[in-house]
Amino acid sequence: MNWSAIGAFVLALAVMVGAFGAHALRDRLDDYAKGVFQTAVAYHFYHALGLLIVSFFPRIGALSESRAGWVCLLLLAGILLFSGSLYALAVSGVRALGAVTPIGGVCFIAGWLLLAYWLTQKSA
């Protein structure tokens, strides 16, 4: 899988969604929903950038393709579950959607911890 291309696309998507929220939703969301939406965009952007960075690790020999792929998959799942559920919550107001958010957070944490573990194993 071309994780670099996916990372670049997901970064572009973060900018588009952020702009949509700032402009199209500006007068439609209350302060709470705006905060939720902004949190979703921030985590979307940070982890998409992480996805792009991790995708280059095999090219510099820091990580195998397979291991980088697992980390990228977890980061992408985190973006979809964490940010996706927060986007849906902010727009719909259905607070039950927030129950999905921690699953995305666990994906983020697992991805970063797995990366840390594999990077320490690589140098050992």
Query: Does 116 score more than 70 pLDDT?
Result: yes
Give just the sign of the alpha carbon dihedral 79, 76, 115, 100: positive
In this prediction, residues 16-20 reach a mean pLDDT of 96
Q: Residue 19 and residue 28: Cα distance in Å, rounded? A: 14
Contact 97, 88 (CB under 8 A): yes
Query: How sure is the predictor about 1, in pLDDT bands with cuts at 50, 70 and 90?
Result: very high
Query: How sure is the predictor about 49, in pLDDT bands with cuts at 50, 70 and 90?
Result: very high
Query: Does 85 score more than 50 pLDDT?
Result: yes
Whole-number pLDDT of residue 124: 42
In this prediction, residues 85-92 reach a mean pLDDT of 96
Is the pTM above the cut of 0.85? yes
Q: Residue 2 and residue 53: Cα distance in Å, rounded? A: 13
Whole-number pLDDT of residue 122: 56
Q: What is the mean pLDDT of the chain?
A: 95
Q: Residue 30, Cα to own-chain centre: how many angstroms? A: 24
| Side chain identity at residue 3, one-letter code | W
As given in the structure block, the two tokens for residue 115 are: 């990366």
In this prediction, residues 6-27 reach a mean pLDDT of 96
